Structure 1
Amino acid sequence: MTSDPHRPPVGARLRQARVEHGRSLRGLAAELGVSAATLSQIENGKSGLTVERLESVADALGTTAARILGSPDADRRAPQPAADRPLVFRAPEHPSERTADVRRSAGWRDYGPLELPPIPAAALAEFLEVGYHGTSMRRISARCGISVPGIYTRYESKQELLMSILDATMADLEWRADAAIAEGGDPVARFSLAVENLALYHIHRRELGFIGTSEVRALEPTNRAAVATRRNHQQRIVDQCVRDAVDAGEFRVDEPDDASRVVVTMCTAIPSWWQPHGRLGPDAVAQEYVGFALRLMGHES
């Protein structure tokens, strides 16, 4: 088989893949257990690249060797990279995407154990333990007992695994937010329920909340924008509750939008401090935060 004279050298393709995945030369070299100088020589074509090392690089980047090499077969087998295609969330595999009947029967305040399929569950555990960039497909494979090729038949990349977790996070939060708001008969009640829901969610699903805060920087631009859109929608729900209460004369706050952002940020920060065996349980913390939020808005009960 002859090489394509118009295709960049292997080292250049490796460097391109590294840059596209947002990895520094030193960071990737450290993960591979080689010096930055060695990796630089490989990228500049001054040192050879073994199949084993290529696979190690692909694993560290959460992709495949074929995709790094730009194999035409790889393009036919796999969909476009996540950054180059519209985001399509995987429907059947996420337990957060329950039927409406199940959601109604559960109630938005009810939280069972976090349920994820084996591969995303293993990825979540690894991301929590060593971070997104410190996690490899081999580590995920070892934790869930599914081979690396088996993982790739379900998930295109480590990036897609992170997105599946964030999708589960947002889907679970979204239906609970809608259900909570629907119970409110006036602007103050809707605001209080929205705050209670945010607080409860970030207590009971603090692992997901932590990943959503700490690893969003690891997302490719298209994915980051998709997650930001859904987060902004949750912020707008609270914003509207605040504006409605201001218009009704119930809230007396000079900068309602700023105050609304403070309230949401206050709730999303709960995973950074709350512990299961602390002074207050989930319900008590949620009610305390509702009180904080109402006082911030100048509400007189």
Structure 2
Amino acid sequence: MEPLETSAWREYGAPDLPRVLLAALDAFAEQGYHGTSIRELASRAQLSVPGLYHHYSSKQDILVDLLEAVMREVIDRSEAALAAAAPDSLSRFDALVECVLRFHMFRNQGAFVTSSELRSLTPANRATIVGLRDHQQQLIDRAVDAGVADGTFATPYPKAASRAVTVLCTGVASWYRADGELSPDELVRRHLVLAHGLVGVQGRAAGLTVVPAEGP
């Protein structure tokens, strides 16, 4: 995946994945890693089984490449959001919250597979994906720590607040629907208010502004 321009982190189209990984994304989301055979993956990717093995030596390799692609995309988008944000700690925090939230709206299938199939990885592969997940979490941890350090956030529990913000954002992957009652921008507004409460922002939520962004 090419690095994102800083202005593009809100923009979503179809996932930019090779066809084998696109086939795996759909199959693993529908019936799980263990419920999907190599033959079915080859069929979904419009390849023969030997043709699929030309690209990947095992189903495990497909899974780890898929999960790594999902995690690298959210990290790339988060870093682009931070690069585009104003330098104050609240703006940087808000950019991260909005970014992770939109990712879990518009990449909910990939987010679901990453969460549900982490257990299906070998120990070495799991360590790779957990390392990427930890890197993403550290971006939010640092944003919360910065807000506490400069007095913008009042939480006495920055680490716990940071984890709670992550759960708030990632949870939408399990229920967000494009045809739902609330628009993506309204969901972002509401979740920013909730996130501000978690980190202890006082009197700022009423001034929230959300830049409209098109979904997929």
User: Which residue of 2 is the match for residue 264 of structure 1?
Assistant: 166
SS, match of residue 269 in structure 1: helix
User: How is 1:1-40 mapped onto 2 (pairs within 5 angstroms)?
Assistant: none
User: Which residue of 2 is the match for residue 254 of structure 1?
Assistant: 156
State how far apart, in whole Å, the 1-side matches of 2:114 and 2:166 are. 14
Asked if the contact 2:7–2:80 (Cα under 8 Å) also holds between the matched residues in 1, the reply is no
Which blocks of at least 5 consecutive residues in structure 1 are unaligned? 1-96
Q: What is the TM-score with the length of structure 2 in the denominator?
A: 0.90
Asked if the contact 2:72–2:132 (Cα under 8 Å) also holds between the matched residues in 1, the reply is no
The alignment status of 1:150 with 2:46, answered yes or no, reads: no
Alignment identity in percent? 38
State how far apart, in whole Å, the 1-side matches of 2:89 and 2:146 are. 6
State how far apart, in whole Å, the 2-side matches of 1:131 and 1:106 are. 35
The one-letter amino acid paired with 1:118 is R
User: Which residue of 1 is the match for residue 16 of structure 2?
Assistant: 115
Deviation at 1:143, TM superposition (A): 1.6
State how far apart, in whole Å, the 2-side matches of 1:242 and 1:116 are. 32
User: How is 1:232-251 mapped onto 2 (pairs within 5 angstroms)?
Assistant: 232-251=134-153
User: Which residue of 2 is the match for residue 56 of structure 1?
Assistant: none
SS, match of residue 254 in structure 1: coil
Asked if the contact 1:190–1:241 (Cα under 8 Å) also holds between the matched residues in 2, the reply is yes
User: Which residue of 2 is the match for residue 44 of structure 1?
Assistant: none
Deviation at 1:290, TM superposition (A): 1.4
The one-letter amino acid paired with 2:126 is R
State how far apart, in whole Å, the 2-side matches of 1:281 and 1:166 are. 28
Deviation at 1:116, TM superposition (A): 2.0
The one-letter amino acid paired with 1:298 is G
Deviation at 1:106, TM superposition (A): 6.0
Q: Please provide the CA RMSD for this pair.
A: 1.3
The alignment status of 1:276 with 2:178, answered yes or no, reads: yes
Alpha-carbon displacement from aligned partner over 1:15-34 (angstroms, at most 9, x marks no partner): xxxxxxxxxxxxxxxxxxxx
Alpha-carbon displacement from aligned partner over 1:91-141 (angstroms, at most 9, x marks no partner): xxxxxx21x4xx217611111122322211111111111100000011112
User: Which residue of 2 is the match for residue 198 of structure 1?
Assistant: 100
Are residues 106 and 164 of structure 1, via their aligned partners in 2, closer, same or farther at CA, if it must alter by over 3 Å? farther
User: How is 1:1-301 mapped onto 2 (pairs within 5 angstroms)?
Assistant: 97-98=1-2, 100=3, 103-104=4-5, 107-182=8-83, 183-300=85-202, 301=204
- Report the number of matched residues: 202
Deviation at 1:261, TM superposition (A): 0.2
SS, match of residue 215 in structure 1: helix
Deviation at 1:175, TM superposition (A): 1.3
Alpha-carbon displacement from aligned partner over 1:174-194 (angstroms, at most 9, x marks no partner): 111111112231111111111
Bigger Cα Rg: 1
Asked if the contact 1:184–1:193 (Cα under 8 Å) also holds between the matched residues in 2, the reply is no
Are residues 267 and 105 of structure 1, via their aligned partners in 2, closer, same or farther at CA, if it must alter by over 3 Å? closer
User: Which residue of 2 is the match for residue 49 of structure 1?
Assistant: none
Higher RCO structure, 1 or 2 (CA under 8 Å, sep 6+): 2
The one-letter amino acid paired with 2:16 is E
